[in-house]
Amino acid sequence: MGNVGNAQPRQAPCERPFHTFVVSRGGDVVPCCQIFVDRPEHRPYIVGNLFDFDDIFTVFTCRTMAEWRLELVDFGPKREPCRTCSDGDFQGSPEEIDLRKRIKELITAQLAGYGRALPVGDRLRKRP
């Protein structure tokens, strides 16, 4: 059923898109297991289709996935569907807080590098 749809707005980070993504039978890619391609309200969160990418590593490192991670790496307001999701928290230990700071720096640098426009960029969906 999934954990998206809670009334309490999420502020916590989420680690899921840092280590996984999900591919449907038809090849549609979504950032985590709480997003379902067969739900009309979740269709806007499809990153793209596996056949649009050169390989699976390009999916994992694409700009859209990096943008999801940047929003989820730290505490703060989240957009849908993460805003109403209760799944996948970080533990919040001092080690994890330090790691999140480092990850945030790396993602920010990665996104700055996308200013040169990757070849697959035009084929990806923007997150609403």
Q: Which residues bind ligand SF4 (CB under 6 A)?
A: 4, 14, 16-17, 31-32, 34-35, 72, 81-82, 85, 87-88
CB-wise, 16 or 63, nearer to ligand SF4? 16
Compute the least distance from the CB of residue 73 to ligand SF4, in Å: 11
Q: What contacts 24+ positions apart, CB below 8 Å, involve 107-115? A: 107/66, 107/69, 107/70, 107/73, 108/70, 110/61, 110/66, 111/63, 111/66, 111/67, 111/70, 114/63, 114/66
Using alpha carbons, select from 22, 2, 7 the residue that is nearest to residue 83.
7
Compute the least distance from the CB of residue 105 to ligand SF4, in Å: 20
CB-wise, 52 or 72, nearer to ligand SF4? 72
Strands 48-49 and 28-30, how do they pair?
A: antiparallel
CB-wise, 17 or 48, nearer to ligand SF4? 17
Compute the least distance from the CB of residue 42 to ligand SF4, in Å: 9
Compute the least distance from the CB of residue 117 to ligand SF4, in Å: 25
Angle CA 14–55–113, to nearest 5: 60
